[in-house]
Structure 1
Amino acid sequence: MRRRESIILLGGVALAGALLAAAQEKKKALIGFLGSGSAKSSGIFVDSLKEGLSDSGLREGRDYMLDLRWAEGNYERFPALARELVERKVDVILATTISAVRAAQRATSSIPIVMTSITNAVGSGLVASLAHPAGNTTGISNLNEDLTPKLLDYFFEIMPRARMIATLGNPANPSTHGLVEVIRGHTVALGAMVNPFEANSADELDAAFDGIDKSNSDALLIVPDNLLIDLREPIAALALKHRIPTLSTIPELTDAGGLLGYGAPRRDLYRRSGYFVKRILDGANPGDMPVEQPTRIQLSVNAKTAAVLGISIPAALLGRTDKVIE
């Protein structure tokens, strides 16, 4: 009888242990991620996201698991990728571009969505307002439309005689056309013209730069887009090859070899996204969480690129620069 009781007791302990382990396993949040480019080129941003989650006390493997889905530059893949995340019953979805946010919103009205860095989130119809986003979406709306004119002002301090500015944008990004018009309006006010070019894959960069070269443009402004951010290294290399100064609101492009940058470091924004995820996992309603805008704007100059291109950076501008890449 005692042997039988011991067996029952041991069986109960084993069952309790299994239930406890299962309960602990269920406590791990499953965080979905819709990335525009590839795992390799976006690695620094995923690392920043993990740092932000760590800042909030969340450790990968212990508190959460990441399910990373990559569009590899093809934004038409987002709807299928979003549906896959919904089918996996993720606890929250991080979306990196307008097309990704829209795909996630169409796939679910209940799973919270966090925007990592979106241009004109209100104007794009992704949220009702910054203060009261409503629905299941919140996160970070960048200031690209406001920062781009100031970026041009800084560039004209370097090259006041510039008369033709080429732009390179991704036609698959819904914000590209509006940003090109912002660039055009401010460039005309500075006495110059805009020549738009497009690329929506790495394979199209060579042809785009050949066209830019033939256009005799004085500079190239990269229209902010997550795919083009992912392609920052080949873009910087091609710009140097064609000897054209490149400017952007993406400081990471300056790090890669662009001449001038004025914008919020994307790594900061991805890191801040971790805060939104933690709040949501703790029970916050995304529709009640105000959408944030960047608080740190970085002016960056690549002095090495300037030297290669034979461009002199005014001392007054260098004195205001937050980061100089030597």
Structure 2
Amino acid sequence: MRRFAVTVSALLVVLLFFGSAATAQSVRRVARIGMLCVPACKVPYIEAFSDELQKIGWVEGTTIATERKDPDYHLDKLPALAADLVRSRPDLIVAFTPFAARAAKNATPDIPIVIILVADPVGMGLASSLARPGGNLTGVATMDRTDFGGKFLGILREVLPQAKRVGVFLNTSNEMHRLVFPETPTAAAKLGFQLDVIDVHEVGEVPRAVAAAKTRGAEALDIFSDPVFPPNRVADLAVQAGLPSISFDAGFARAGGLISYGPDFPALARIGAHYVDRILRGAKTAELPIEQPTKYLLVVNLKTAKSLGIEIPASLLARADEVIE
């Protein structure tokens, strides 16, 4: 009887041990990710990312815990926000846009980083190559740079066959703008455009930039997509100034800009969610190829065209993925 009691006691100890271990293991399965959002965390492409994570099984508070850092358009705060995330030691960091990607990469050489909406991570020096990024960073790029400037301005030429002068909004503190813009003047010259470059660094400078372009004789605006260029604000100001406009973000045309030509940002963000999933399940960041978009969306706002007195060629409308009437 005594031996039986000892055996039962030992069995209870073993069961308690494994029960505790299972509980601890369950706690450890709650993955922790940090999100560095630019310009803010409540924008459509970040909402799409979070939605996709949930669809593939990562439920906030149950299997994943997310810490979000949001500079609210004050991009100078990004290094400090990235440092805060690193100090909390998440399993990985998700960085949206080139500004956030640079801040995250500068903040940690070892925590895995998934970048989303960075046009040329190799050109920025964030990755060794698209096929084998190396280091602690991978994710989703937004651009195949092969003659993109020519295609972009070519659309503007179709719409405005007689136009000569184009105002270009750049943010030279954006590394991607500095990388991509040098290709633009050559494409513009071939199409007969003269470029008037206006450097814009803050949201508050946008009204002045639109007024300056109009004063200098711009007949259209080429808006390089950037977190400090809110699509709805720039689109409204361009229409008020009577200036046709084109930008990279589909949200720009949907907000009232004339045309947009670029990738589907929410769709790319959803792809980024699958990178997070793979890394949390054990994939090595350095060996996950960086994905590029294979399709660009052409969005035409006919309502804006009519308000500006512009007739959109039928050939362009036939190619459009979305026409807003």
TM-score under structure 2 length normalisation: 0.90
| Whole-angstrom CA distance in 2 between matches of 1:269 and 1:226 | 17
Tell me what 2:254 maps to.
255
CA distance in 2, matches of 1:128, 1:179: 18
Instruction: Output one character per residue of 1:139-184: Cα deviation in whole Å (capped at 9) or x when no partner.
Output: 1122163433212111111111110111112222112123322222
Deviations 1:113-160 (A, max 9, x none): 011011211111110000010000001122163433212111111111
Letter matched to residue 91 of structure 2: D
Aligned to 1:315: 314
Aligned to 2:32: 30
Whole-Å Cα distance in 2 between the matches of residues 123 and 232 of structure 1? 26
User: Does structure 1 residue 269 correspond to structure 2 residue 268?
Assistant: yes
Match of 2:99 in 1: 99
Q: Within 5 Å, which residues of 2 pair with 1:183-202? A: 183-202=184-203
Name the CA shift for 1:63/1:217 in 2 (closer, same or farther; >3 Å).
Answer: same
One-letter amino acid of the structure 1 residue matched with residue 58 of structure 2:
L
What secondary structure sits across from 1:131 in the alignment? coil
Distance in structure 2 (CA, Å) of the matches to 1:93 and 1:124: 18
**Inter-partner Cα distance in structure 2 for 1:296 and 1:25:** 41
Letter in 2 for 1:36: V
In structure 2, the partner of 1:304 is 303
Q: What is the CA–CA distance in structure 2 between the aligned matches of 1:161 and 1:249, rounded to whole Å?
A: 23
Gapped runs of 5+ residues in structure 2? 1-11
Displacement of 1:289 in angstroms is 0.4
Which letter does structure 2 place at the counterpart of 1:152?
L
Amino acid corresponding to residue 51 of structure 2 in structure 1: E
Sequence identity percentage: 33
CA distance, structure 1, for counterparts of residue 306 and residue 284 of structure 2: 51
Q: SS of the counterpart of 1:319? A: helix
More off after superposition, 241-250 vs 124-133: 241-250
Match of 1:52 in 2: 52
- The 5 A counterparts of 1:148-227 are 148-227=149-228
* Displacement after TM superposition at 1:46 (Å): 1.6
Superposed CA deviations along residues 225-253 of structure 1, whole A, max 9, x for unmatched, are: 2332xx11111111111111110121111
- Whether the 8 Å contact between 2:247 and 2:259 is mirrored in structure 1 is yes
Does structure 2 conserve the Cα–Cα contact (< 8 Å) formed by 1:148 and 1:249? no
SS in 2 for 1:153: helix
Q: CA deviation at 1:19?
A: 7.0
Letter in 2 for 1:121: P
Deviations 1:22-44 (A, max 9, x none): 5434322111111221234x2x1
| Secondary structure of the structure 2 residue equivalent to 1:227 | coil
AA matched with 1:268: A
Partner SS for 1:247: strand
Q: Compute the displacement of 1:296 (Å).
A: 2.6
CA-CA distance at 1:59 after TM superposition: 2.0
**Greater CA drift, 72-81 or 297-306:** 72-81
Q: Does the 8 Å CA contact 1:37/1:71 hold for their aligned counterparts? A: yes
The letter of the residue matching 1:194 is: L
Q: Secondary structure at the match of 2:111?
A: coil
Q: Distance in 1 between matches of 2:100 and 2:199?
A: 20
**CA shift at 1:282, angstroms?**
0.4
1:234 to 1:136, Cα distance in 2 relative to 1, 3 A = same
1: CA distance, partners of 2:228 / 2:274: 24
| Structure 1 residue 16 displacement after superposition | 8.5
Q: How far apart, in 2, do the equivalents of 1:87 and 1:76 lie?
A: 19
Aligned AA for 1:242? Answer: A
Q: What is the rounded CA distance, in whole Å, between the counterparts of 1:268 and 1:21 in structure 2?
A: 37
309 and 324 in structure 1: CA distance in 2 versus 1, 3 angstrom threshold = same
Q: Tell me, in whole angstroms, the C-alpha distance in 1 between the residues paired with 2:205 and 2:17.
A: 59
- Give, in angstroms, the shift of residue 107 of structure 1: 1.6
The whole-number CA distance in structure 1 between the counterparts of 2:302 and 2:226 is 24
Q: Look up the equivalent residue of 2:270 and give its one-letter code.
A: R
Amino acid at match of 1:319: A
